[in-house]
Structure 1
Amino acid sequence: MPMKLSPKTVRIIIALAVMALAGLVVLQGLLLLTALESKEQTFRRNVLAALNGAAQGLETSEAMHYSVCAALSDDDSLAQQRWTSEFSPPDSLCRDSVIFVAATADTVPPVRITGDSLYYVVHRPQRVLIQVYNPDHSEKRITIDTFKTAGQYSISLDSLPPSPGGYAYSYRLDGRSVVQQIETFGNRPGPLAGFMGNDGKTVLVQRVLSLLMDAERRPIEKRLDRTALDSAVTANLKYHGIELEHAIGIVTGNLDSLALAEPADAADELRMSEFRTRLFPQDVFSIPSNLVIHFPGQTFYLWRQMTPLLAATVILMGIIIVCFVMTVRIMTSQRRFAGRLVDFINNMTHEFKTPLSTVALASEAISRPDVTAEPEKIARFNRMIADENQRMRHQVDKILQMAVLEEGDYELALEEVDLHDIIRRAVDSFTLAVESRGGRIACDLKADRPVVTADRIHAANIIHNLLDNANKYSPDPPDIAVSTRDADGGVMVVIKDHGIGIGEADREQVFDKYYRVPNGDVHEVKGFGLGLYYVKTMAEAHGGYVKVSSELNKGSTFVIYIPI
C-alpha cells in the first residue's frame, strides 16, 4: 500500500464513511420511531382497559346500590311474601353501608338472639347504637346508645309487646350497620336474610330490575355522580400505570352530543378523542352513551417514557459523530502535514546540498598542484569550507532545536532582560543585509517598561526570525519598521514590512510546523518552514502570544506580546 493516498482515494473514503454514518443515523431514527409507536400502542391499550374497568365498576356499583335499596325498601309487594317476620327499616339504612347476616352454618352473626335475650360482642372500645321497631314504625325505640369497652353484653327482650309483623333490630358495631329480625309469637328468631323464601327472592329481583329500568330512563349526566366517575377513571388509570392529567366526558347518541365535559373547555378535544368505551352496555332502553377521555400532555408523556432510550441514542450518536469528524480532520491534517514534510525534506536537501557541493569543490581545488603553489588561494578555499561548515552546523542546530521544542523537553533560563536592547542588537545585525538591497529598518521603541522576565537567547531568536522573514519576503528595496509599546501587564513588539504579504487562506496556517506559503518554486526563498512555528512556540512558552495581520501584496504585521 502506498504511504501517501491520492486525493481521489481520500475523498472516496470520506464519502463512504459519511454515507455509512448518515445511514446509521437514519436507522437509529427509525428504531426510535418504532419504539415510540410501540409505546403509543401500549398506552392506548392501557387507557382502553382503564376505561372499560371504570365503566364496568360504575355499572356494578349501580346494580349493588339498587339491590341494597330494594332489599331495605318498604314496598308493599315485599310485605305480601312469606317472610318469617316483616319489617321496614328507616330510609337511613339504605344510605348506610348495610350488612345482611345470613344464618348459615359457617357464618357467625355479630349479634346473637337466644331465648329472650340479645347478645352482642364489642371487639374494641366504641359507641354502640341498637334500635328496635315494627314494620309500621308505630313502635320504635332506642334500646342502647352508649359507649362500650371491649367485652360481651346482652339485653332482655321481655319488654316488647306482641306484634303481628314481629320486630327488627338495627345495630351498629365496628362501623357497620346490621339488621336482624325477631318474631314475638314463639318462633325462633334469626337473621332477616336467612328466612326469606323463594317467592321473596323473586320479588326482590323484580324490584331490583324495576329500579335499574327506571335508572335507564334518567339522563346520563344525572344518572352518574361526577366525583364518582372521576374517581373510578383515575383509580383505573393508576392501576394500569398511567398517572397523567386528563379530561373526561360523556358522549351520547350517534351525533357525538356531549352530555358532560370535565373541564368544560376540553369539549372539542373530547369529541375528537379516540379513547372511548360504552357506558352501561347491558342497558336495554337507554340511549347509548360513551365514556371518553383526553390527555392534553399525551405526546410529552410518551416522549418522556422514551427519555432513557432517547438520551442514550443521542449521547452515543453524538460520540460517533464527534469521533468521525475528528477522524476526518486528523486524516486531512495528517495528509497536509505529510505534504509539508515532503517539502521540508526537499528544502533541507537543497539547503545541505549547496554547502556540501561548495565544500567538495573547494577540497578538490586545494588538491590541485596549481592551487597548492599559491597560499592565498588555499586560504580562500579554507575560509569557504569553514563558512559552509558553519552554515550546515547552523541548519543542523535549528533542526535539533525544533525537535526539542516539539517534545517539550526544554527549560527557559528566565531573567530580567531589556527588550529594547535585544531589538537594537538584532536590528544592527540585519541593517547591512537590508541596506545592501537598498532598503531600511526604522525603529520606534516607545515602551516605558521594556524590561521583562524572559530567556535572553530565545527572545533574541524571536526578533531575529521575524526580521529575517521580513527581509526575505520583501521585494527590493525592503522597508521594515520595528516598534514597541506598553501593554496591559507586558510589552507589545510590532514588526511591519511591505513585502509580498500573506493570503487569507494561509494566515491561519503560517504558524504550523513545516508550513510555507506557496509561491511557485519552493526553493525561491530558502527556509524549512520552522521559523514562525518557533516564534509561536516560544511566545506561548513565555506566557505571551503572537498574531499576524496581512494582505496579499501589501505586507504583513506581526505583533508579539511578552508579559512582564
Structure 2
Amino acid sequence: MSKRTLILLITLMSISLIGIIIIQGFFIVEIYRDAERKFNNDSSIALSEGVEWLEKREFRRYVVKFRDLISSGGAIDTTAINSLYIIKEDSDNNEVMMYRNASIEENLKVPQFWNVLDDSLNLKRVSSERETKVLKIQKEKEYSGISSEQFLSKIGEISKSKEILFETAYHDLAKRNPIERRIGNVKSLSSFLKYRFKRFNIDIPFEFAIFNADSITRVKSENFVLDKNTFESALFTDENDESGYLIKVNFPKRTPFLVAPVISVAVVSIIFTFIIIIVYIYTVLILLRQRQISQIKTDFINNMTHEFKTPIATINLALDSIINPKTIKDQSLVKKYLEMIKDENKRMYDQVENVLRISQLEKRELNIKKTTLDLNELIKIAVSHVQLLLENKNGSIHLNLNAVKSEIQGNETHLVNVMVNIIDNAIKYCDKVPEIQVSTENVADKIVLKITDNGIGMSKKVQNKIFEKFYREQTGDLHNIKGHGLGLAYVKKIIDYHNGKIALESALNKGTVFSIELFANK
C-alpha cells in the first residue's frame, strides 16, 4: 500500500468517525429537547387544568348556597326587572357589603323593514345595573341573622339570564375575598397540584406560590424561588378573563428528571461510539504496522540480496581462478580458493539457517533440547567464536565470571549463538577500538549475564524496536554493516524459550549493556 493511499484511507475513516460522533451527539441533544418540550407542555396543561378546577370548585360552592336559598322560599312573579341582592358580612373588618345586580328587560314592537307586511317585529332590549355599598356595622346585633353568601330576595327557577346574572354577581363578590380563604390551606393545595402533575407522569418535587400583581401572597410553599423555568397561570379570572392573581410553579429537580430518560440512550451510544473509536485506532495502527512491515521486508529482501550477492560473486571469482590452467596446477592456490568457496558457502548457509530458525521459533516448531550446562563455560566458547573478529579490529574482551552457581538448564547451541550474536553486534557497531566486558553474578535464584560495549549506542526509538524481526537501524535500503535484522529477534526468542529475560540500557555514543537473566539450577 502506497503512502498516498494510506493517508487517503485514514482521512476518509477519520471523517466518517467524526461524522458519526457528531450525529450521535445531535441525536442525544434532540432527545433531551423533545423531553424538555413535552415536560413544559405537560406542566402547563396540568397547571391550567388545575386552575380551571379550582375556579369551578369555588363557583360550585356559591351555586350550592344559591340553590339552598331558592329551596327555602316560594316562587316569585317574573317581572321585567330581575334583581339580585346579596349581603355579605366581613367580621374581620367590621363591615357589611351590600351588593345589587339587576337586569332590565324591555319588550319593543317596531314595524318590519320596507313596510312590506303589516306585521310588527318584537324586539327585547336587556340592560344591567350593578351597585355595591360597604357599611360599617353600627350595632352589635345588626345583620346578625344574615350570613355570608345568603340571598335576601326569594327567587324561583334560574333562567339562563338569571344564571348569567348570578355568575356576574359571583365574580364581583368572590374577588373581594382574600386569596387565603378562596384557596384554603397550603398543604391541601400542594396535594392537589401533586395529583394534577402526577396524572401527566410528572412525579418530582415542586415549589409554588400565588402572586397578587407583582407581590407574593402568603399562599406559597416554603422553598419557592422564582427562576427562568417557572410556570405560571392566571387564577380566578372574571367574566372578562381578567385576574389579579397568578399561580407560579417551578421544579427544583427539573434537569435531573429530564436527563434521566436520555442517560440510557446516551450511555449505549457512548459505549458503541467508544468501541468504534477503539476499532478505528486499532485499524489505523494495523495499517501503519503493515506498511512498516512491508517496508522492513522490502529492506530485508534488498539486504539479503546484497548479502548473497557478495559470497556468490566471490565463489564465481574463485571458480574462475581454479578453472584457469595456470592456477589448477598450483595446489596451494587451488586449496586457498576452495577454502574461500567453503567459507562463502557456509556464510550463505548460515544466513538461510537464521531465516529458517526464526520462522520455526515463531511457529514453535523448533525442537530445543535442554541439558545441564555451565553458563561460564558457554561464555568462553562464544568468545572463542568471535576472537578473530576482535583481533581484526584490535579489540579486547574482558571476562568477569563471578557467578558461583553457574549451572543452568538450556540448549548449548542456541545459547552460544545468543552470546555470539550480541558480541558480534558489539564489534560491528563500534566506531572505535572495541572494548567489551562480559560478567556473570548470582542474584537470588538467578544468574545474570551482562555484556557491555563501547559502541555507537542506540536511541530510544531504536531500543523500542531492536528485538523486532527484520528491524535494523538504517540509512536507505542498504546498510553500511552487513546483516539481515534477524539476530536480536532470534536472541529474544531463544531467551524466552529458556524462561529468561533480556533487557538493554543504551545511549547514543555511550555504548550498550545487554542483561540476560536465567534461572540457576538449585
The two structures have a TM-score, normalised by structure 1, of 0.70
How far residue 389 of structure 1 moved from its aligned partner, in angstroms, is 1.7
Q: Tell me which residue corresponds to 2:454.
A: 498
Give the residue type in structure 1 aligned to 2:341. I
Give the residue type in structure 1 aligned to 2:309. K
Q: What are the residue-to-residue correspondences of 1:67-146 with 2, within 5 Å? A: 67=63, 78-81=71-74
Contact 2:401 2:439 in 1 (8 A): yes
**What is the alpha-carbon distance in structure 2 between the residues aligned to residue 366 and residue 375 of structure 1?**
10
**What is the alpha-carbon distance in structure 2 between the residues aligned to residue 218 and residue 405 of structure 1?**
99
Matched, 1:406 2:365: no
SS in 1 for 2:74: coil
Contact 1:244 1:295 in 2 (8 A): yes
Give the residue type in structure 2 aligned to 1:319. I
Give the residue type in structure 1 aligned to 2:52. Q
Cα RMSD after superposing both structures: 3.2
Give the residue type in structure 2 aligned to 1:304. A
**What is the alpha-carbon distance in structure 2 between the residues aligned to residue 382 and residue 356 of structure 1?**
13
Q: What is the number of residues matched between the two proteins? A: 440
Contact 1:481 1:495 in 2 (8 A): yes
Give the residue type in structure 2 aligned to 1:37. R
Q: Which residue, out of 223, 231, 256, partners 2:182?
A: 223
Change (3 A) 1:520 1:503: farther
Matched, 1:427 2:383: yes
Give the residue type in structure 2 aligned to 1:237. F
Q: Which residue, out of 247, 250, 253, partners 1:294?
A: 250
**What is the alpha-carbon distance in structure 2 between the residues aligned to residue 69 and residue 559 of structure 1?**
105
Matched, 1:56 2:16: no
Change (3 A) 1:412 1:43: farther
Q: Deviations over 1:195-252 (max 9, x none)?
A: xx99276899999987776543233244323222222222222221222222222233
Q: Which residue, out of 314, 317, 320, partners 2:273?
A: 317
Q: Deviations over 1:61-105 (max 9, x none)?
A: 43445555666x6x6x753337xxxxxxxxxxxxxxxxxxxxxxx
**What is the alpha-carbon distance in structure 2 between the residues aligned to residue 418 and residue 54 of structure 1?**
96
Q: What are the residue-to-residue correspondences of 1:32-47 with 2, within 5 Å? A: 32-47=28-43
Q: Tell me which residue corresponds to 1:244.
A: 204
The two structures have a TM-score, normalised by structure 2, of 0.75
How far residue 319 of structure 1 moved from its aligned partner, in angstroms, is 2.1
Q: What are the residue-to-residue correspondences of 1:254-273 with 2, within 5 Å? A: 255=214, 257=216, 259-264=218-223, 266-269=224-227, 272-273=228-229
Q: Tell me which residue corresponds to 2:334.
A: 378
How far residue 345 of structure 1 moved from its aligned partner, in angstroms, is 0.5
Contact 2:470 2:484 in 1 (8 A): yes
How far residue 358 of structure 1 moved from its aligned partner, in angstroms, is 1.9
Change (3 A) 1:521 1:344: closer
Contact 2:470 2:485 in 1 (8 A): yes
Q: Deviations over 1:94-129 (max 9, x none)?
A: xxxxxxxxxxxxxxxxxxxxxxxxxxxxxxxxxxxx
Q: Tell me which residue corresponds to 2:78.
A: none
How far residue 502 of structure 1 moved from its aligned partner, in angstroms, is 0.9
Q: Deviations over 1:134-184 (max 9, x none)?
A: xxxxxxxxxxxxxxxxxxxxxxxxxxxxxxxxxxxxxxxxxxxxxxxxxxx
**What is the alpha-carbon distance in structure 1 between the residues aligned to residue 435 and residue 367 of structure 2?**
35
Matched, 1:19 2:15: yes
What 5-or-longer segments of structure 2 have no aligned partner? Answer: 76-153
**What is the alpha-carbon distance in structure 2 between the residues aligned to residue 410 and residue 251 of structure 1?**
91
Q: What is the aligned-residue identity percentage?
A: 29
Q: Deviations over 1:338-384 (max 9, x none)?
A: 11111111111111111212222222222222223222222222222
Q: Tell me which residue corresponds to 2:102.
A: none
**What is the alpha-carbon distance in structure 1 between the residues aligned to residue 211 and residue 366 of structure 2?**
85
Contact 2:207 2:251 in 1 (8 A): yes
Contact 1:512 1:533 in 2 (8 A): yes
Change (3 A) 1:480 1:39: same
The list of structure 1 runs, each at least 4 consecutive aligned residues, that deviate by more than 4 angstroms after superposition, is 64-71, 200-215, 282-287
Q: Tell me which residue corresponds to 2:508.
A: 552
Give the residue type in structure 2 aligned to 1:246. F
Contact 2:454 2:512 in 1 (8 A): yes
**What is the alpha-carbon distance in structure 2 between the residues aligned to residue 520 and residue 557 of structure 1?**
27
**What is the alpha-carbon distance in structure 1 between the residues aligned to residue 399 and residue 72 of structure 2?**
129
SS in 1 for 2:233: strand
**What is the alpha-carbon distance in structure 1 between the residues aligned to residue 374 and residue 505 of structure 2?**
26
Change (3 A) 1:308 1:434: same
Give the residue type in structure 2 aligned to 1:49. I
**What is the alpha-carbon distance in structure 1 between the residues aligned to residue 241 and residue 264 of structure 2?**
51
Matched, 1:343 2:299: yes
Q: What are the residue-to-residue correspondences of 1:399-548 with 2, within 5 Å? A: 399-487=355-443, 489-519=445-475, 522-548=478-504
